[in-house]
Amino acid sequence: MTKPKILLARAVFPAIIESLSTRFDVATNQTDQVLTKSELIARLQGVDGALTTGSERIDSDLLVACPQLKVVANMAVGYNNFDLPAMTERGVQGTNTPDVLTDTTADFGFALMMATARRLTESEHFLRRGEWTKWRYDMFTGSDIHGATLGILGMGRIGQGIASRGAHGFGMEVIYHNRTRLDPATEARCRASYVSKAELLQRADHLVLVLPYSAESHHAIGAAELAQMKPTATLTNIARGGIVDDVALAAALKARTIAGAGLDVFEGEPAVLPDLLTLPNVVLTPHIASASGPTRMAMARLAADNLVSFFTEGRVLTPVNTVTSIVR
């Protein structure tokens, strides 16, 4: 029997390639070249399934050009690289990797928030430059995490993980805003109180963004929102570039209308707004919130298992759309 053909659009763990090769005719990209749209379309010719990352856009043009494609397994919990209505319309199943990265990503969000509040990288750069000649009472004084008010915008699984860490580990008061309010039991478990977005912006000492990117969340934090925050507040973004207006953020950081920012994601990444690179009061990391070794392996395995399950059982483990009609 001929094996289904799959494309692993980016480099993955060799063990994943090995296990997929027992069931599929596998094409790889272990040089990890980020494929342009036309390169991706060319590599997807005659291919039944693909493993992608957030960098590969699966849109209507691509689907029309690759009519054999039936399933795309994203190795990410976010899937804003999928044009979901187009995929659903053409009967293409999409999947993501929820749950397996929740705690690792929440850990990182907390670390980035703490690094920002306590000016970790700014002080390290000072030390590395050889500028540390004496102790001084006000050297790199930042703001406290314990006892502060933690604001969370987007209260899904990762937001809840950050809330619990703040409330239970650091005695923080946790407030959140979300499209839908959590049920009382979940609020109690996270010790989090629901507030309006305006109240969240005004009261948070440390605001963490964990909402999915969509047309509605584009520039959810712009100049008007930043202006409502306390001058002592920090902003941490581990969600997606584009949720924050980076130009407005750089202006706020420069004018010190907020104290600092921790950014793991950027508009137009991997390019970073040059202004952000020169500002001292921002901690910058290259989209690594889920990057612990075990978690990246679990994400790759889940994406691979979705492909296996689709072709062997006709269903997937973590769907992001429901495929009913097929227009080809």
Which residues of this chain interact with ligand DGY, rule CB under 6 A? 54, 76-78, 101, 290
Q: Is the dihedral of CA 146, 151, 153, 155 positive or negative?
A: positive
Least distance in angstroms from the C-beta of 133 to ligand DGY:
41
Nearer to ligand DGY, 108 or 310 (CB): 108
Q: Which of residues 25 and 269 has its CB atom nearest to ligand DGY in the complex?
A: 269
Catalytic residue among 90, 240, 296, 301: 240
- Interhelix angle 102-117/293-313, rounded to 10 degrees, is 150
From the CB of 201, what's the least distance to ligand DGY, in Å? 24
In whole angstroms, how large is the CA radius of gyration of the chain?
Answer: 22
Q: How far is CA 253 from the centre of its chain?
A: 22
- Residue 247's identity, in one-letter code, is V
Known catalytic residue: 269?
Answer: yes
- Shortest distance, position 211 Cβ to ligand DGY, whole Å: 12
Planar angle of CA 21, 22, 27, nearest 5 degrees: 15
Of 24 and 79, CB closest to ligand DGY? 79
Cβ closer to ligand DGY: 54 or 260?
54
Distance CA 282, CA 27 (A): 40
Query: Residue 78 carries which side chain, given as an amino acid letter?
Result: G
CB of 4 to ligand DGY, least distance (A): 25
Query: Catalytic pick from 118, 177, 206, 287?
Result: 287
Active site residue 287: yes
**Looking at 89, 173, 199, 269, which residue is catalytic?**
269
Nearer to ligand DGY, 76 or 316 (CB): 76
Q: Which strands sit side by side in the sheet containing 192-194, from one edge to the other?
A: 192-194, 173-177, 149-153, 206-209, 234-237, 260-263, 282-284
Shortest spacing between CB 215 and ligand DGY, in angstroms: 18
Residue 259 CA neighbour count, 13 Å, CB half:
22
Give the span between the Cα atoms of 32 and 306, in whole angstroms.
Answer: 21
**Catalytic site positions:** 240, 269, 287
